[in-house]
Chains A and B, each alone.
Chain A
Amino acid sequence: MTLSGASVLRLGRGMRLREDKARGQWVVLGPERMFVPDEIALEVLRLVDGARPVDAMVDDLATRFAAPREEILGDVLAMLEDLAAKGVVTA
Chain B
Amino acid sequence: MTVPAAPPAAPLAAPPAAPLAAPPAAPLALLAELTHRCPLRCPYCSNPTALARPGEELDTATWARVFQEAAALGCLQVHLSGGEPTARRDIVALVRAASEAGLYTNLITSGVLTGEAKLQALAEAGLDHVQLSVQDAEPVSADRIGGYRGGHAKKLDFARLVHASGLPLTLNAVVHRQNLDRLPQLIELALDLGAGRLEVAHVQYYGWALANRDALLPTRAQLEAATATVEAARRALKGRLVIDYVVPDYYAKRPKSCMGGWGRQFLAVSPAGRVLPCHAAESLPGFDFPNVRQVSLQWAWEDSEAFNRFRGTGWMPLPCRGCERAELDWGGCRCQAFALTGDAASTDPACALSPHHGVLSLAVDAAIEAGTAFTYREPQKIPG
Contacts and interface: CB of A to CB of B under 8 A. Distances in A.
Contact of B196 (A14, A16, A27, A29): A14
A17 B199 CA distance: 24
B74 A13 contact: no
A48 B197 CA distance: 23
Nearest to A29: B104
A68 interface: no
A29 B28 CA distance: 11
Nearest to B238: A85
A52 interface: no
A23 B102 CA distance: 15
A29 B102 CA distance: 12
Contact of A32 (B26, B166, B167, B170): B170
Interface residues of B, number: 22
A16 B128 contact: yes
A13 B196 contact: yes
Interface size class of A (residues with CB under 8 A): 10 to 19
A27 B74 CA distance: 12
Nearest to B74: A22
Contacts of B28: 34
B73 interface: yes
A14 B73 contact: no
A14 B73 CA distance: 23
- Most chain A CB within 10 A, of B131, B166, B168, B199, is at B168
Interface of B: 26, 28, 73-74, 76-77, 102, 104, 106, 128-129, 131, 166-168, 170, 196-197, 199, 239, 242, 244
Interface of A: 13-14, 16, 18, 20-23, 27, 29-32, 34, 85, 87
